[in-house]
Amino acid sequence: MAPGISGEIAGESKLYDYEFSDEIPVISLSGIDDVGRKKEEICGQIVEACEKWGMFQAVDHGVDTNLMVNMTRLARDFFALTTEEKLRFHMSGGEGGFSISSHLQGEAMKDWREVVVYLTYPVSNRDYSHWADKPEGWLKVTAEYSERLMGLAYKVLAVLSEAMGKGTGLAMGLEKDALKNACVDMEQKIFVTYFPKRSKPDLALGMRHTDNGIITLLLQDQFSCLQVTRDNGKTWVRVPFVPGALVINLGDIGHYLSNGRFMTTDHQGVVDSNSSKLFINTFLFLAPHDTVYPLKVRDGEKAKIEEPISYEAITMRKLKDL
């Protein structure tokens, strides 16, 4: 538990059984492109965080702060438009766009939100007719943000690739592009999610889940909006808002490709009665036909997936279990 941090912060009331936690590391990536001890220390911190939590907060990550500020500012400007204006970009045919999402679970209106989805990679698949042209400049900012986060995601995957195999009698880990290359047709999607403030926020929790993809990069705007559990929901810890940070979270595929060495953690979005919440998730997915199989099975371990299976099949199996 971080000193002086409790379940209440300015502008937020304590609604859930959680604590703000310093267990989820905040890691400075300054020096990760260098050669030598500094880089080794940073890589060691990333690997340890992914083994323990499957999640960490990255600062000094090389994504321009002004770009991040503009991305969140323009997103809030979009959600402030009238519903009629937003529905000009209504999501249809799986091509991205704007939608309003919610479902009832007993008394609770679960996962109530507005969302804009951008299909950003491969670049050749972008359909700009589904990209909002209001507010002015958001399209250009989103394209640049997509590029910068793709580069950062590949950098983290390279660290994890090189770590796999080490400590098992091998002098070296895998090639740095092993995880990237295992995803033959990598897809990137950006989900810009807005939770309006709720009079009964305890009835509006996001759905508990793990991410389907290989890695997710989350930008929180002004407030903490995420809580995580490692003990099947007995204890929830809140991921603090750290200015300028990106929350990096491994998904199911990262877990499988590492044969369980790197964790994927259950998490859910949270809202409150005093303020709206905005966060921007950048997901890296496999193409549906890509196959998944552990890249390295350590001595004495069993493969978590006995034979290669398509990403689509894994996704369908997970949906059936919900």
- Summarised one tens digit per residue, pLDDT across range 221-261 is 888 888 898 888 888 888 999 999 999 999 999 999 999 99
pLDDT of residue 246: 97
In a domain, 299, yes or no: yes
- Are the CB atoms for 253 and 286 separated by under 8 Å? yes
Instruction: For 197-220, write each residue's pLDDT tens digit.
Output: 766 655 555 678 889 999 999 999
Question: Integer distance in angstroms from the first to the last C-alpha of the chain?
Answer: 31
Q: Is residue 112 part of a domain?
A: yes
262 Cβ contact partners less than 8 Å away, ≥ 6 residues apart: 50, 51, 54, 160, 250, 254, 255
Contacts of 212 (CB under 8 A, 6+ apart): 251, 252, 253, 283, 285, 314, 315, 318
Please report whether residue 258 resides in a domain.
Answer: yes
CATH of the domain at 116: 2.60.120.330
184 pLDDT exceeds 70?
Answer: yes
The span from the CA of 152 to the CA of 139, in Å, is 20
pLDDT reported for residue 17: 38
pLDDT at 6 > cutoff 70: no
228 token code pair: 């995580």
pTM above 0.75, yes or no: yes
147 pLDDT band, cuts 50/70/90, is very high
Mean pLDDT of 83-97: 79
Asked whether residue 132 is domain-assigned, the answer is: yes
Question: Cβ neighbours of residue 4 under 8 Å, at least 6 residues apart?
Answer: none
pLDDT digits (tens, 9 = 90+) for 15-61: 333 344 557 899 999 999 998 899 999 999 999 999 999 999 999 99
Asked whether residue 9 is domain-assigned, the answer is: no
Say which residue, 169 or 248, is predicted with more confidence.
248
How do residues 260-274 score in pLDDT, each as one tens digit? 999 998 998 877 667
Q: What domain count does the chain have?
A: 1
Query: In terms of residue numbers, what domain contains 316?
Result: 26-321
According to the model, what pLDDT value does residue 172 have? 54
For residue 21, being part of any structural domain is answered with no
Cα 92 from Cα 242, distance rounded (Å): 35
Residue 5 lies in a domain: no
In a domain, 8, yes or no: no
Largest CA distance in the chain: 61
